[in-house]
Structure 1
Amino acid sequence: MALRPSRVLRTGAVLGLAAVLLGLTGVSVVGTTRTRASANTAIAATTLAEAYELADDAVALEEVAEQRYRLEPGEQALALHRGASGALEVALRDVEARGTAADRDVAAEVRELQVIYLGAMDRLFAAVDRGDTASAADIDDEVVDPAAERIGGLVHGAATVSAQEAAEAMRDLHRIEGVVFTATTATFGVGLALLVVFAFVAGGYQRRLLRHAAEHEYHASHDGLTGLPNRTLFTEHTTDALREAGPDGRGLAVLLLDLDRFKEVNDTLGHQYGDELLRQVAARTTGALRAGDVIARLSGDEFAVLLPGASAADAAGLAARLQSELHRSFALDDVAVDVEVSIGIAVAPEHATDTDALLRCADIAMYTAKDSKTGATLYRPNMHTEDGNRLLLLGDLRRALDVTDQLTLHYQPKIRLDDGRLSGAEALVRWSHPTRGPIPPAEFIPVAETTGLITRLTLYVLRLAVAQARAWLDDGLVVPIAVNLSPRCLLDPDLVGHVTRLLHEHELPADLLRLEVTETAVMANPALATETLTALHRLGVRLSIDDYGTGYSSMAYLKSLPVDELKVDRTFVMHMDDDPEDAVLVRGAIELGHNLGMTVVAEGVEGAAHVTALQELGCDIAQGYHYARPMPPEDLTTWFRTSGATAVLSG
């Protein structure tokens, strides 16, 4: 039976429509797959480029440290160079984790060159130390410079390739859109009868595809939580603003903001509260900006603001407004939360003329503001060289306080000179850095002393020491533990409350905790120091004057302080057997302490001659290498039970 023309037409129309739909389906599948792949490639390439950027920064810091050492040889420049090398290694690991086999090959090649470079640097530093400038120059020309240039070229080249790959992925996305559009348009020629159907189907698909492409592009350049531009888009805006400003035009400013107590919100209330806090911070910051200013969320609790055409004074004014806005309480559901913000400011062209350098300057200024508790700080050029190593060390120390396996306590026993029994132990902090290894307290404590971080470090040590005293007590050993207080902690009005809570939390008798302060710390603010020490003494905590003889003090204040113990500094004790003047000073300190009703402790006792001399002078307690070096608590427990200087048994 022959088919009627209308049926043939309908059949043809159906077949044609089916063909169009199949074609559109194929285009949709291929286009969506390629779009998703292109977007993922762009994100991966951007992340990898950031890792290469960190490596590039580390290489630059190595160069700064090398030049600094050649101008001013010393441990500070050497430590800065070591820190930069460590940072490069961390960045290379990040490249290996995020990159392809080719990137891992680059990282391996950089490591091989770094070995050659570091070996040559050791020889160069040695030549500089000898004053052999000719050899230093030869080493620099023949090995150091070629290796450094090769390392920098590899890192910079790989970063450029990653950026190009991201750009190529976006171009590929647009090419897919074009192909799909062309393929869809071509199907319209099948017939006028199918035009409306085909146009409807193709138009709908085209709109969906373009919307998906726009969404992918948006998500690749915006933060999913706050909806703000991300680091990639902020970098593009800053680069464009620098280009538009030109070398002779009006400059611009960049502000980097970091929330100081954001981690406490996440740890205490949960991440959902932390996310809501970030959204509200983004909203308040946006509301304080001018038209044309750009705000972005870079990562975590770090935000950036771009101020086109702004001066340093304009940026400082905005920073003050932002502090005022963000220091007001945030209502997170049923909880009111207060946070503080640290702001770093950098201005172009005064501080830098390219985007990466400008952001680095603002970042350095922000960490300076955070460490000095100043709220907002304008970048200064000398921060790069003078504070580079200090900022690296402070950043590492801040992160070490957030974990449990880097900062530990060693304990050095204190021995009674009349019967050789244990009088107590002094807690001494030790830092095992994950990449630099052990860092001496003399290196990181003075740096922490110059910032508010010393208070947090001291409370960390107090918490460990009180817990250890409780553990020993549970094990049948009564071991009073001494902890050094920094001048900042002594003047902290919350100190007594912190100590009270720790003793209560661990149910530790207060007389098993001894707090040591220096003369200098007391004399910094005698009235407040006396008030704090009196409150601690009423609590039952034993108190000591540490390093007596090295500072300055008023006899009137010394006799009025509620102090139980006087510790004679090691610099006098170590030479008292061969230096008559030191012996006189030690004798005077012992007599003074006894006349004021204090127990006297001699530090730095390193030989039997010291012990004999101190016993003859009537000293009460000795501490030093003659008896034991500082050791971990488990080793000291064994020492208690095996040495003659046994701990007092409880019960």
Structure 2
Amino acid sequence: MAGTGRVKSVRPLPMSRRGRQAGREGTVPTPRAHKVRRVAAIGLSVVVLALAALSLAGVARTHRAADTVARSAGLAAAYDRAYDAVKDEELSERQYRVRPSPGVLSDHAVAGVNLLTALADIERLGTAADRDLVRRVRTLHERYMAGAAALFAAADAGDTPEVNRIDREVTDPAFDEFTREVRDANAAHAAVAAENVQDLRRVESLVFTTTVTGTTAGLLLVVALALVATGFQRRLLRQAADSEHQAHHDALTGLPNRVLFTRRVTEAAASGAPASVLMLDLDRFKEVNDTLGHQYGDELLRQVAARTTAALRAGDTVARLSGDEFAVLLPGAPPEAALVLAERLQQDLHRSFVLGDVTVDIEASVGVAGCPEHGETAEALLRCADIAMYAAKEAKSGVTLYRPSMHTDDSSRLLLLGDLRRALDATDQLTLHYQPKVRLSDGGLHGVEALVRWQHPTRGPISPAEFIPVAENTGLINRLTLYVLRLALQQVRGWLDGGLAIPVAVNLSPRCLLDSELVRHVTGLLREHGVPARLLRLEVTESAVMANPAQATATLTELHDLGIHLSIDDYGTGYSSMAYLKQLPVDELKVDRTFVQHMDTDQDDAILVRGAIELGHNLGMTVVAEGVEGTAHAAALRSLGCDIAQGYHYARPMPGPDLDRWLQEQRAAIPAAAG
């Protein structure tokens, strides 16, 4: 029993020790476990340090790339300002050829200063290559400025052949060379910005991949750090992308700017496929800015951009080049197809624009040029489309396809403008002829209409139909109108001194009605010559009034309040609004000659003339029939109740002295002039 007890008392002890030892072997680290932990700890530390180092390296690299993009964007903006300044210099040079004046010279000088300022910014921000380019451009610009000075001197002297020679041999080559330098450098910096944006994207991808790996390993701290770094990089990416976008797009409309548009036109021209360029300019956009304010003008430009984009195809490019000038690239479209698209676009733009609480109607002039027919480079296509656009604006045709002869037409117009400007400075080239207006009731003289005539010193007589439209499309028409008013009032003063009170009528162009100084000028001329306002009549066309009814009505009301009589000229040829016609302070309606001349043979014309006479009388106006050339016309008009007649049947337009003799010859048959 005792032995058995000993066994029972002794054997559990070793078993118990083995159990406790086994338990301790499962919880106490072995050398291998310590090694694993050390490896894990080292691995974790390495991962954390690697991720931190990678993040820091990515951030540093992102900073460098972002700085490069920002610097490239700044350089692109400086180059863009330099390019705009160069274009402003060219525009001022062209304007001086058309209209030499100190103001144009001042604009040219300001453009030169802007160019030098932009070059200074390029020199400050750019590399050694940019500074070399600045030195070359300054040298070329000095050569250009010397040529421009000689060109201006030749223009002042009226030496057109010398102007053309300097333009061809000096200014144009220099201008084209430094324009190309600026454009190519701008494109290079835009490419650098794009390359750095791609680099930023690669860095972001690497950091993101590493972050995902760290997240899988449970490194929450690394994940947080990576997320912060990723967010920071994304912000930098967005900033870089924004900088790149701003360097190639217009801030107001979001459309491509001149740099991006020129690049796309170059690519389209190099592809070998047909392509066309549209140059679009809004007519009377300045009136919107001047009348409603720049806020409305900006909104109009945004709506024009949206409507233009919506009217074209998906692959076309719409760009805003400057101000109210837009351009369209039509890849794959020959000129004939481009004309169809341009006409459709113009129709869309003729629909009213709602600008807040104001509804505005505008018109657009579009020039079309095709590749390779009219040019094989972006510069040539833009130049040809620009020339066609100005031809459309001058002819009021809406859309015009470029023709090589337009270069010649443009030169002739420039020469005519220069000659007309000099004629206004002379004292013997521009004169007035006066055509009598006769009362149909008794044959008495009602008044006269003043018509300008030009006797060119070398070309002889130049028809008003040739030089009036040229003046109308420039600011010269305002000066010409004041010149005619001065001569007409001088003649009225002479007649008054001779005992005759003969009312004289003078035509006002649409541009004159938009001149805020018109009323002041007319008042001053009446006072200067001592002529009663009742002896002056101003004639305006329907289209001139309807171009801007509110402003036209305000101007005409001021003139009427002075005591000046007002007429609606060429009635029936425009688009009238009865609502505005009855509100206008006019007392005379002139029926256009195109209806009067055929009223005795064309029943439709006779009906139109009768309707115009009845309308005028119902509105309390005197009615004048123009183009009366025979006894039958006079008799028919008299039977319809027309008040006044004017035409070759009574007298052709004649100089003032001839009118005096005509009055003496008619005195027995014609009563005294109306007062």
TM-score between the two structures when normalised by the length of structure 2: 0.59
Q: Post-superposition shift, 1:418?
A: 7.7
Show the counterpart of 1:223: 250
1:278: which partner in 2? Answer: 301
Change (3 A) 1:361 1:336: same
Name the CA shift for 1:288/1:472 in 2 (closer, same or farther; >3 Å). closer
2:75 to 8, 18, 41: 41
Measured in 2, the distance between the counterparts of 1:115 and 1:93 equals 15
1:214 aligned partner, one-letter code: A
Q: Which amino acid aligns with 1:415?
A: R
CA contact (8 A) 1:260 1:340 kept: yes
Work out which of the residue numbers 176, 190, 193 in structure 2 matches 1:156.
Answer: 176
1:313 aligned counterpart, secondary structure: helix
Aligned to 2:583: none
In the other structure, the counterpart of 1:434 is none
Please give the alpha-carbon distance, in whole angstroms, between the structure 2 residues aligned to 1:84 and 1:506: 30
Letter of the 1:158 partner, please give it: F
Question: Residues of 1 paired with 2:347 and 2:208: CA distance?
Answer: 61
Distance 1:84 1:302 in 2: 25
Structure with greater Cα Rg = 2
Q: What code does the residue aligned with 1:38 have? A: S
> Which position in structure 2 is the counterpart of 1:451?
none
Give the Cα–Cα distance (whole angstroms) in 1 for the partners of residues 201 and 391 of structure 2. 53
Matched, 1:100 2:124: no
SS at match of 2:271: helix
1:410-434 per-residue CA deviation (whole Å, 9 max, x = no partner) reads 63432366865795897989xxxxx
2:513 aligned residue (435, 453, 459):
459
Q: Which runs of 5+ in 1 are unaligned?
A: 63-78, 129-135, 430-453, 575-581, 601-619, 621-651
Deviation of the 1:213 alpha carbon: 2.1
AA aligned to 2:669 is N
Displacement of 1:503:
5.4
2-structure distance, mates of 1:416, 1:395: 31
The aligned amino acid for 1:363 is D
Q: Does the residue aligned with 2:561 lie in a helix, a strand or coil?
A: coil
The aligned amino acid for 2:308 is T
Q: Does 1:241 align with 2:268?
A: yes
Q: Percent identity?
A: 34
| Other-structure match for 1:366 | 389
Instruction: Give the CA deviation at 1:274.
Output: 3.7
CA distance in 2, matches of 1:463, 1:117: 33
Superposed, which structure 2 residues align to 1:235-634 within 5 Å? 235-245=262-272, 250-388=273-411, 390=413, 400=475, 411=486, 412-413=489-490, 414-415=492-493, 455-459=509-513, 464-465=518-519, 468-469=522-523, 478-480=532-534, 482=536, 485=539, 502=555, 504-505=557-558, 508=561, 510=563, 512-513=564-565, 523-526=593-596, 553-554=629-630, 562-563=643-644, 587-592=661-666, 595-597=669-671, 599=673
Tell me how far 1:327 sits from its aligned partner: 2.8
Distance 2:551 2:228 in 1: 70
Alignment partner, residue 73 of structure 1: none
Distance apart, 1:85 and its partner CA? 13
Counterpart check, 1:113 vs 2:144 = no
Letter in 2 for 1:508: D
Which residue identity lines up with residue 175 of structure 2 in the other structure?
A: V
Amino acid paired to 2:111: D
State whether residues 42 and 170 of structure 1, in contact with CA within 8 Å, keep that contact through their aligned partners in structure 2.
yes
Distance 1:499 1:556 in 2: 37
How far did residue 154 of structure 1 move? 3.1
Deviation of the 1:27 alpha carbon: 5.2
Paired residue secondary structure (1:304): strand
Q: By how many angstroms is 1:299 displaced?
A: 2.7
Measure the CA separation in 1 of the matches of 2:57 and 2:667. 97
Provide, for residues 525-573 of structure 1, a one-character-per-residue CA deviation record: whole Å limited to 9, x for no partner. 4377998799889999999999xxxx98446657967459999999656
In 2, Cα distance between equivalents of 1:371 and 1:543: 32
Counterpart contact for 1:514–1:544, Cα < 8 Å: no
Gaps of 5+ in 2: 1-37, 121-133, 418-468, 571-589, 600-607
Alignment CA distance shift 1:239-1:309 (3 Å): same
8 A Cα contact 2:55 2:226, kept in partner: no
- After superposition, the C-alpha distances for 1:229-279 in whole angstroms (9 at most, x for unaligned) are 22222221111111112xxxx522222233335444444544444444333
Instruction: Give the corresponding residue for 1:636.
Output: none
Letter in 2 for 1:100: L
In the alignment, which residue of structure 2 is the partner of 1:232?
259
Residues 104/125 of structure 1: CA separation in 2 closer, same or farther (3 Å cut): same
Aligned residues: 521
CA 1:347–1:152 in 2, change beyond 3 Å: closer, same or farther? closer
- TM (normalized to structure 1)? 0.60
Whole-Å Cα distance in 2 between the matches of residues 495 and 196 of structure 1? 66
1:79-94 equivalences in 2 (<5 Å)? 90-91=107-108, 93-94=110-111
Distance in 2 separating the partners of 1:86 and 1:467: 21
**Which letter does structure 2 place at the counterpart of 1:238?**
V
Flag the 1:84–1:198 CA change in 2: closer, same or farther, 3 A: farther
| Contact map agreement 2:545 2:553 (CA 8 A) in 1 | no
Q: Is the 8 A contact 1:342 1:369 kept in 2?
A: yes
Post-superposition shift, 1:215? Answer: 1.9
Give 1:376 deviation, angstroms.
Answer: 1.8
CA contact (8 A) 2:89 2:111 kept: no
Task: Please give the secondary structure, in 2, of the residue aligned with 1:352.
Answer: coil
For 1:154, the aligned partner's letter is A
Amino acid at match of 1:329: S
Q: Secondary structure at the match of 1:211?
A: helix
Cα deviation for residue 45 of structure 1 reads 0.7
CA drift of 1:39 comes to 0.7
Moved more, 49-58 or 525-534: 525-534
Secondary structure, aligned partner of 2:312: coil
C-alpha contact (below 8 Å) 1:481/1:514 kept by paired residues? no
| 2:189 aligned residue (165, 169, 186) | 169
State which drifts further: 103-112 or 232-241: 103-112
Q: Which amino acid aligns with 2:320?
A: R
Aligned to 1:579: none
> Match of 1:307, SS?
strand
Write the distance in 1 (CA, Å) between the matches of 2:59 and 2:151. Answer: 57
2:578 corresponds in structure 1 to none
- Residue identity matched to 1:244: S
How far did residue 307 of structure 1 move? 1.7
Indicate if the aligned counterparts of 1:83 and 1:389 stay in contact, CA closer than 8 A: no
Aligned-partner SS, 1:224: coil
**Alpha-carbon distance in 2 for matches of 1:85, 1:465:** 25
Question: Given the superposition, is the C-alpha separation of residues 525 and 497 from structure 1 closer, same or farther in structure 2, using an over 3 Å criterion?
Answer: farther
